[in-house]
Amino acid sequence: MIESDRDKIKDIPMSSSDTLIVQSATTSNGTVPLLSVEHASKVYESERAPVRALDNISIQIGSGRFVALVGRSGCGKSTLLNLAGAMDFPTSGHIRLDGVATDQLSESQLTALRREKVGFIFQSFQLLYTLSVIENVELPLLLAGHSDPRPLAWERLHSVGLAELADRLPHQLSGGQMQRVAIARALVHSPRILLADEPTGNLDTTTGNSILELLRQICKENKTTILMATHSAESASFVDTVVKMRDGHIEEIVRS
Ligand code: ADP
Ligand code: MG
């Protein structure tokens, strides 16, 4: 990251528990940031020229922050989310999640890290269409070997306001309801970070705003960190911080 970017980030007001800074592995008060992206670059090899999707990005995000990544299609937002969730790895540099460098873990450690610490939601909801709403929500717990996932799934479904729709199939829901189910599923195991890739992209503005409001509430009440790629112009009024990206770089960081 270039010097001027670092200075911009330092300008963001911080409290000791709410940090968004760059460059050091620990914050000034010695705590480990939840997500630390350290000089991360990502180059995709392709048949033509290699694509540099991220170019030496550094950013640190503390617990309980709601951060929006904005920028044109192709600027690297989804790539950064995938690296943050240990779904993929940087070509150079490091990603630390809760202090752990994702590129230094075994496959089984990675699976455990993703299962325990990361939730993901997508523009297209990605529900399983042959399972009921409540079965979708409890699925991550079942996959993790939880013996009695139903009560926790109920609790999460209730918290997104959909308990009465538990027995429906996804195709019997509106888009906004489907995204609420996806949010309940992503949070059922109480992850430290929720990664959201264009979560309002398939929704009308009013429904999209209700999803943004729900995410804001989750972030504040549960202290879940949320990193969200978005095109929504409205998102700025819901998040703490907007990170503007361009061509694989962080162009500007704006605190709302
Ligand atoms: P955004 O989410 O901001 O639209 P992406 O992170 O999806 O951007 O993509 C960044 C760049 O990397 C784009 O040029 C895209 O075409 C390229 N890219 C993304 N994924 C791959 C991949 N798996 N293989 C090759 N190129 C990719
Ligand atoms: Mg994308």
Helix segments in the chain, DSSP class H: 3-10, 77-84, 107-117, 133-143, 150-159, 175-187, 205-222
The ligand with the least distance to the CA atom of 69 is 1
Question: Ligand 1 mean position to 222 CA, how many Å?
Answer: 31
Q: Is the CB of 108 within 6 Å of ligand 1?
A: no
Residue 81 alpha carbon, nearest atom of ligand 1: 6
Q: Is there an atom of ligand 1 within 6 Å of 79 CB?
A: yes
Q: What percent of the chain has pLDDT over 90?
A: 83
Ligand number with the minimum distance to the CA of 199:
2
Cα torsion angle, 103, 105, 107, 111, sign: negative
Tokens standing for residue 148: 């009695």
Q: Is 77 in the pocket of ligand 1 (CB under 6 A)?
A: yes
Three-class DSSP category at 206: helix
SS3 22: coil
The full 3-state SS of 1-19, as one line of letters, equals CCHHHHHHHHCCCCCCCCC
- Give the whole-angstrom CA distance, residue 165 versus residue 145: 25
Position 195 confidence tier, pLDDT thresholds 50, 70, 90: very high
Position 1 scores a pLDDT of 37
* pLDDT reading at 100 higher than 90: yes
Distance from residue 239's CA to the centre of ligand 1 (Å): 24
CB distance 75 to ligand 1 below 6 Å = yes
How many domains does the chain divide into?
A: 1
CATH code, domain carrying 61: 3.40.50.300
Q: How many Å is the Cα radius of gyration of the chain?
A: 18
Copy the structure tokens of residue 12: 């963001």
Q: Which atom of ligand 1 is nearest to the CA of 76?
A: 6
Q: Can you give the pLDDT at residue 31? A: 73
97 phi and psi, to 5 degrees?
-110, 120
Q: How far is the CA of 124 from the centre of ligand 1 (A)?
A: 17
pTM here? 0.89
- CA dist list (Å): 55 to 1, 66, 167, 180, 241: 8, 23, 46, 34, 21
Contact 76 CB / ligand 1 (< 6 Å): yes
The CA-to-CA distance between both ends of the chain, in Å, stands at 22
What range defines the domain where residue 79 resides? 3-255
Averaged pLDDT, 233-238? 88
